[in-house]
Amino acid sequence: MAISPSRVFAALLPTAGDIYRDENEPGMGGHTVTVQRTQNSAREVQVTGSAEVSCPADRATVSVSFKNSKESVNDVTNSISRRVEYILQTLRQHHVKEEELTVTRHIYRADELYHMEALVMVVFSDFGQMERVCIVLLEKLDKSVCVSTPHFYHSEECLGLLRRSVCVAAVENARLKASEMSSMLGQTLGHPLLVREEEATERDGGEGRMGEGVHRPSISATSRVFVTFNLRHKDRTRKKI
């Protein structure tokens, strides 16, 4: 996953007690900065952070289809079964797991012949492995089978990781900004008191080319968080001698 440049906005907002305000503080880009002092002398800094993370598709399905026609059910069934077994053997030799493939067959009668169609559907997470398998099947079986172009998609595991990663990146951006602000104000950043994700969106991130006519799509996720940190005065953090 590639983390794209993100923007972080920050503001120190009062809730109660004494207030110090400097609306022209250098380095704040025109933002108003307010440090609050509550009744128990606690200080807080509140910031919002945002981030965007892009992730390419991590799965692809390829279908291998073929058909045959014979005068008897046994003949057409045996013919298709031999072809299916060869394809499955090729997949095993390339370390494709059983749970990553499905086989379907359909037989019908027309024009005094028995017709059978078969479809082998394979799910790949290793795209190099996928390319090697497709090359072997096309070279060995040629026009007797139809190998589809890959259909790429994002697995649920990939989407879950993407959503967590972009939220964590937004929180980290907020923490870095809050740390710079607290240092500028003569404070030390303390523990987070509140973390809230205020907005999360996902959109099509475009496509990357993998070869002639093959495109691998990506998804871009954005997150905006609101974080409150405790502030400590620098003098209080020094060890007493």
Amino acid letter, 87: I
Is 60 exceeded by the pLDDT of residue 225?
yes
Phi and psi based region of residue 112 (left: phi greater than 0; alpha: psi -120 to 50; beta: remaining)? left
User: Kindly report the CA angle at 177 between 224 and 189, in degrees rounded to 5?
Assistant: 115
Identify which has the larger pLDDT, 222 or 145.
Answer: 222
Is 80 exceeded by the pLDDT of residue 13?
no
Is 90 exceeded by the pLDDT of residue 216?
no
Identify which has the larger pLDDT, 17 or 45.
Answer: 45
> What is the rounded end-to-end Cα distance, in angstroms, of the chain?
48
Is 70 exceeded by the pLDDT of residue 173?
yes
Q: Which residues pair with 58 in a beta bridge?
A: none
Distance of alpha carbon 118 from alpha carbon 105, whole angstroms: 4
Amino acid letter, 154: H
- Contact, 175 vs 193, CB < 8 A? no
User: Kindly report the CA angle at 142 between 214 and 103, in degrees rounded to 5?
Assistant: 75
Angle between helices 127-141 and 73-93 (to 10 degrees): 140
Is 70 exceeded by the pLDDT of residue 85?
yes
Confidence of residue 222 (pLDDT cuts 50, 70, 90): very high
Give the count of beta carbons closer than 10 Å to the beta carbon of residue 107: 13
Give the rounded percent of residues in the chain with a pLDDT score beyond 70: 76
DSSP-H helix ranges across the chain: 73-93, 127-141, 156-184, 234-237
| Residue 109 backbone phi and psi in degrees, to 5 | -115, 135
Mean of pLDDT values over 218-235: 91
Nearest-CA neighbor of 50 among 201, 134, 173? 173
Give the count of beta carbons closer than 10 Å to the beta carbon of residue 98: 9
Nearest-CA neighbor of 129 among 158, 150, 146? 150
Is 80 exceeded by the pLDDT of residue 31?
no
**What's the pLDDT score for residue 209?**
61
